[in-house]
Protein backbone atom coordinates (compact mmCIF):
# COMPACT_ATOMS: atom_id res chain seq x y z
CA UNK A 1 0.00 0.00 0.00
CA UNK A 2 1.17 3.52 -0.82
CA UNK A 3 0.60 5.98 2.01
CA UNK A 4 0.33 9.70 1.32
CA UNK A 5 1.46 11.30 4.57
CA UNK A 6 -1.04 13.76 6.05
CA UNK A 7 0.77 16.16 8.36
CA UNK A 8 -1.72 18.96 7.84
CA UNK A 9 -0.10 20.62 4.82
CA UNK A 10 -0.26 19.69 1.16
CA UNK A 11 -2.44 18.89 -1.82
CA UNK A 12 -3.18 15.35 -0.68
CA UNK A 13 -6.34 14.79 -2.68
CA UNK A 14 -4.70 15.75 -5.99
CA UNK A 15 -2.08 13.04 -5.53
CA UNK A 16 -4.65 10.52 -4.32
CA UNK A 17 -6.88 11.23 -7.32
CA UNK A 18 -3.97 10.90 -9.76
CA UNK A 19 -3.08 7.48 -8.32
CA UNK A 20 -6.74 6.44 -8.35
CA UNK A 21 -6.92 7.44 -12.04
CA UNK A 22 -4.01 5.08 -12.65
CA UNK A 23 -5.80 2.26 -10.82
CA UNK A 24 -3.33 2.39 -7.92
CA UNK A 25 -4.44 1.84 -4.33
CA UNK A 26 -3.28 4.46 -1.85
CA UNK A 27 -4.43 5.98 1.39
CA UNK A 28 -4.05 9.38 3.05
CA UNK A 29 -3.00 8.92 6.66
CA UNK A 30 -1.07 10.15 9.67
CA UNK A 31 -1.85 6.98 11.63
CA UNK A 32 1.43 5.48 12.78
CA UNK A 33 0.12 1.92 12.54
CA UNK A 34 -1.05 2.40 8.97
CA UNK A 35 2.23 4.05 7.96
CA UNK A 36 4.11 1.12 9.51
CA UNK A 37 2.35 -1.22 7.08
CA UNK A 38 3.20 0.89 4.00
CA UNK A 39 5.45 -0.40 1.26
CA UNK A 40 5.85 3.06 -0.31
CA UNK A 41 5.45 6.58 1.05
CA UNK A 42 4.69 9.90 -0.61
CA UNK A 43 5.48 13.06 1.35
CA UNK A 44 3.65 16.00 -0.25
CA UNK A 45 3.72 19.59 0.93
CA UNK A 46 2.67 23.16 0.31
CA UNK A 47 3.63 25.94 2.72
CA UNK A 48 6.43 26.87 5.09
CA UNK A 49 9.31 24.54 6.05
CA UNK A 50 9.23 25.13 9.82
CA UNK A 51 5.46 24.76 10.09
CA UNK A 52 5.73 21.44 8.27
CA UNK A 53 8.53 20.14 10.50
CA UNK A 54 6.66 21.26 13.64
CA UNK A 55 3.67 19.23 12.54
CA UNK A 56 5.76 16.19 11.62
CA UNK A 57 7.60 16.27 14.95
CA UNK A 58 4.54 16.93 17.11
CA UNK A 59 2.58 14.12 15.45
CA UNK A 60 5.38 11.61 16.05
CA UNK A 61 5.80 11.05 12.33
CA UNK A 62 9.59 11.46 12.16
CA UNK A 63 10.25 8.34 14.21
CA UNK A 64 8.13 6.09 12.01
CA UNK A 65 9.50 7.73 8.85
CA UNK A 66 13.06 7.08 10.08
CA UNK A 67 12.17 3.43 10.56
CA UNK A 68 10.63 3.11 7.11
CA UNK A 69 13.61 4.85 5.47
CA UNK A 70 16.56 3.32 7.32
CA UNK A 71 15.33 -0.07 8.54
CA UNK A 72 12.67 -1.08 6.01
CA UNK A 73 14.30 0.87 3.16
CA UNK A 74 11.04 1.42 1.34
CA UNK A 75 10.82 3.95 -1.52
CA UNK A 76 9.95 7.47 -0.36
CA UNK A 77 8.96 10.28 -2.73
CA UNK A 78 8.94 13.91 -1.57
CA UNK A 79 6.98 16.40 -3.69
CA UNK A 80 7.62 20.18 -3.66
CA UNK A 81 7.91 21.14 0.03
CA UNK A 82 8.02 17.41 0.71
CA UNK A 83 11.25 17.22 -1.29
CA UNK A 84 12.74 20.09 0.73
CA UNK A 85 11.77 18.42 4.02
CA UNK A 86 13.96 15.45 3.06
CA UNK A 87 17.05 17.69 3.28
CA UNK A 88 18.97 18.72 6.39
CA UNK A 89 17.75 22.31 6.69
CA UNK A 90 16.21 25.27 4.91
CA UNK A 91 16.93 28.99 4.70
CA UNK A 92 13.19 29.43 5.19
CA UNK A 93 13.39 28.47 8.85
CA UNK A 94 15.54 27.27 11.74
CA UNK A 95 14.30 23.73 12.39
CA UNK A 96 16.21 20.70 11.17
CA UNK A 97 14.77 18.77 8.25
CA UNK A 98 14.41 15.01 8.05
CA UNK A 99 18.00 14.73 6.81
CA UNK A 100 17.57 11.79 4.45
CA UNK A 101 19.45 13.70 1.74
CA UNK A 102 22.68 15.55 2.51
CA UNK A 103 21.94 19.08 1.40
CA UNK A 104 20.00 22.23 2.16
CA UNK A 105 17.13 24.24 0.75
CA UNK A 106 17.88 27.81 -0.31
CA UNK A 107 15.84 30.69 -1.72
CA UNK A 108 16.14 31.81 -5.32
CA UNK A 109 18.28 34.94 -5.54
CA UNK A 110 18.68 37.00 -8.70
CA UNK A 111 20.18 40.40 -9.58
CA UNK A 112 17.42 42.99 -10.02
CA UNK A 113 18.35 43.56 -13.65
CA UNK A 114 17.42 39.98 -14.51
CA UNK A 115 13.80 40.77 -13.65
CA UNK A 116 13.02 37.14 -12.80
CA UNK A 117 9.95 36.32 -10.76
CA UNK A 118 9.92 34.59 -7.40
CA UNK A 119 8.15 32.24 -6.93
CA UNK A 120 9.15 30.23 -9.96
CA UNK A 121 5.68 29.36 -11.22
CA UNK A 122 4.36 27.55 -14.27
CA UNK A 123 5.57 24.96 -16.75
CA UNK A 124 9.30 24.41 -17.26
CA UNK A 125 11.58 21.85 -18.87
CA UNK A 126 13.44 19.18 -16.93
CA UNK A 127 16.74 17.63 -18.02
CA UNK A 128 17.86 14.24 -16.71
CA UNK A 129 21.35 14.04 -15.20
CA UNK A 130 21.59 10.29 -14.56
CA UNK A 131 19.66 7.07 -14.94
CA UNK A 132 17.10 6.18 -12.30
CA UNK A 133 14.17 3.81 -11.99
CA UNK A 134 12.04 6.86 -11.14
CA UNK A 135 12.65 8.31 -14.61
CA UNK A 136 12.78 5.01 -16.48
CA UNK A 137 11.79 5.30 -20.16
CA UNK A 138 11.39 9.06 -19.91
CA UNK A 139 13.22 10.34 -22.96
CA UNK A 140 13.55 13.70 -24.64
CA UNK A 141 12.16 16.93 -23.24
CA UNK A 142 9.76 16.71 -20.32
CA UNK A 143 7.80 19.60 -18.90
CA UNK A 144 6.48 19.79 -15.38
CA UNK A 145 4.51 22.31 -13.37
CA UNK A 146 6.38 24.28 -10.67
CA UNK A 147 5.35 26.60 -7.83
CA UNK A 148 8.21 27.38 -5.42
CA UNK A 149 10.50 30.09 -4.06
CA UNK A 150 13.12 27.73 -2.60
CA UNK A 151 15.15 24.92 -4.15
CA UNK A 152 17.46 22.14 -3.00
CA UNK A 153 21.25 22.15 -3.21
CA UNK A 154 22.69 18.64 -2.82
CA UNK A 155 26.04 18.31 -1.05
CA UNK A 156 26.84 15.33 -3.26
CA UNK A 157 26.24 16.31 -6.92
CA UNK A 158 25.69 12.65 -7.79
CA UNK A 159 22.40 12.79 -5.84
CA UNK A 160 20.97 15.27 -8.36
CA UNK A 161 18.64 13.45 -10.73
CA UNK A 162 17.21 16.32 -12.79
CA UNK A 163 17.96 19.97 -13.37
CA UNK A 164 15.82 22.90 -14.49
CA UNK A 165 16.75 26.44 -15.51
CA UNK A 166 15.22 29.46 -13.82
CA UNK A 167 17.85 32.19 -13.82
CA UNK A 168 20.37 29.42 -13.25
CA UNK A 169 20.32 25.62 -13.19
CA UNK A 170 18.91 24.12 -10.00
CA UNK A 171 18.25 20.56 -8.85
CA UNK A 172 14.62 19.83 -9.69
CA UNK A 173 14.77 16.17 -8.61
CA UNK A 174 17.14 14.01 -6.59
CA UNK A 175 17.60 10.32 -5.83
CA UNK A 176 19.75 8.53 -3.28
CA UNK A 177 19.16 4.85 -2.60
CA UNK A 178 15.45 4.58 -1.67
CA UNK A 179 14.93 8.37 -1.33
CA UNK A 180 13.47 10.43 -4.17
CA UNK A 181 12.39 14.05 -4.35
CA UNK A 182 10.86 16.23 -7.06
CA UNK A 183 10.47 19.99 -6.81
CA UNK A 184 7.74 20.06 -9.44
CA UNK A 185 4.17 18.81 -9.06
CA UNK A 186 3.73 15.55 -11.00
CA UNK A 187 0.07 15.45 -9.96
CA UNK A 188 -0.45 18.64 -12.00
CA UNK A 189 1.82 17.69 -14.91
CA UNK A 190 -0.47 15.55 -17.08
CA UNK A 191 1.23 12.80 -19.10
CA UNK A 192 4.68 13.55 -17.72
CA UNK A 193 3.47 13.26 -14.14
CA UNK A 194 1.50 10.12 -14.94
CA UNK A 195 4.63 8.40 -16.22
CA UNK A 196 6.64 9.43 -13.17
CA UNK A 197 3.98 8.10 -10.79
CA UNK A 198 3.83 4.84 -12.73
CA UNK A 199 7.57 4.47 -12.39
CA UNK A 200 7.41 5.15 -8.64
CA UNK A 201 4.70 2.54 -8.17
CA UNK A 202 6.84 -0.01 -10.03
CA UNK A 203 9.97 0.57 -7.94
User: Catalytic amino acids?
Assistant: 80, 185, 187
Calculate the alpha carbon distances from 12 to 45, 104, 117, 138, 187 in Å: 8, 24, 27, 25, 10
> Do the beta carbons of residue 10 and residue 82 sit within 8 Å?
yes
> Do the beta carbons of residue 166 and residue 154 sit within 8 Å?
no
Measuring CA to CA, which residue among 147, 81, 91 is closest to residue 119?
A: 147
194 burial via Cβ count (<10 Å: 0-12, 13-18, 19+): middle
Amino acid sequence: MITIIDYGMGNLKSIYNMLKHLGIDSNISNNLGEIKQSDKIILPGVGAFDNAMKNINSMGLKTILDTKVYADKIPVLGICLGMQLLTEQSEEGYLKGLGYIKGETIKFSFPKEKNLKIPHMGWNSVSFLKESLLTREMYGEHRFYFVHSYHVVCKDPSDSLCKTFHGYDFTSAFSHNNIYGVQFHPEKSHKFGIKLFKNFVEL
